[in-house]
């Protein structure tokens, strides 16, 4: 595994030879930094190291988006993780899971019960009734929709105005528990 100093010309000129699926060019400055070129012509900076006796390979990014200095710095960061016994792939998966959990919590905080209720009514329109295996009736869906209505509209039959729906739909979703929802219905 010959190592060379990465330059813009070497990075741009590196290609995969015919008959191979991929070819590597290894950097002499940053331990574990390589440039992978595939038969399809795609290139990517990679990091390769050994952790607990097993080879770990992580894609850093496309050379069009990553400068040589940036890729070398990222390879050094990944090498520090490997030196500490931390698998960079697991660290990345943990960060992604943490980010997804933060997004889900933010969505939960921003969602009101009314938003969730409207989503539920849309769901009712797309599914079939469990017993009859037919689409839900318009009357059934309208009855569920009326729980969230503000009221005060003229009645379709008779005189007067409609009554407001259940007032609990205006609060934030996290404030309501399943027990509270059951009691209100």
**DSSP sequence for 66-120:** S-HHHHHHHHHHHHHHHHTT--HHHHHHHHHHHHHHHHHHHHHHH-BHHHHHHHH
Q: What is the dihedral of CA 128, 131, 136, 141, to 10 degrees?
A: -120
What pLDDT digit, counting tens, does each position of 56-72 carry?
999 999 999 999 999 99
180 band by pLDDT with thresholds 50, 70 and 90 = low
Region 33-38: mean pLDDT is: 96
Count of residues in the chain: 185
> Using an 8 Å Cβ cutoff, are 42 and 27 in contact?
no
Separation of alpha carbons 108 and 141, rounded Å:
25
Domain definitions of the chain by residue range: 3-106, 112-184
Assessment of whether the complete model's pTM goes beyond 0.85:
no
Separation of alpha carbons 21 and 10, rounded Å:
20
**Residue 32: strand, helix, or coil:** coil
Q: Selecting from 3.30.160.390, 3.30.2350.10, 3.90.230.10, 2.160.10.10, what CATH number does the domain 3-106 have? A: 3.30.160.390
What pLDDT digit, counting tens, does each position of 69-128 carry?
999 999 999 999 999 999 999 999 999 999 999 998 888 777 777 777 778 888 888 888
In sign, the C-alpha dihedral spanning 60, 64, 70, 73 is: positive
What pLDDT digit, counting tens, does each position of 124-177 carry?
888 887 787 788 888 888 787 777 777 778 888 888 887 776 655 666 665 555
**Residue 135: strand, helix, or coil:** strand
């Amino acid at each position: 595994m010959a190592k060379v100093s990465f330059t813009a010309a070497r990075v741009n000129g590196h290609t995969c030879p015919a008959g191979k699926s991929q070819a590597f060019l290894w950097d002499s400055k940053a331990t574990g930094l390589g440039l992978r070129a595939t038969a399809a012509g795609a290139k990517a900076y990679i990091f390769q190291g050994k952790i607990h006796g097993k080879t770990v390979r992580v894609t850093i990014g496309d050379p069009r988006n990553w400068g040589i200095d940036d890729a070398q710095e990222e390879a050094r960061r990944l090498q520090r993780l490997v030196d500490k016994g931390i698998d960079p792939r697991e660290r990345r998966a943990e960060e992604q899971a943490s980010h997804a959990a933060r997004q889900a919590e933010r969505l939960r905080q921003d969602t009101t019960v009314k938003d969730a209720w409207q989503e539920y009514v849309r769901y009712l329109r797309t599914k079939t009734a469990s017993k009859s295996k037919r689409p839900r009736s318009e009357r059934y869906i309208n009855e569920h929709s009326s729980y969230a209505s503000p009221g005060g509209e003229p009645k379709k039959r008779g005189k007067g105005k409609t009554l407001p729906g259940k007032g609990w739909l205006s609060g934030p979703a996290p404030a309501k528990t399943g027990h509270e929802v059951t009691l209100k219905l």
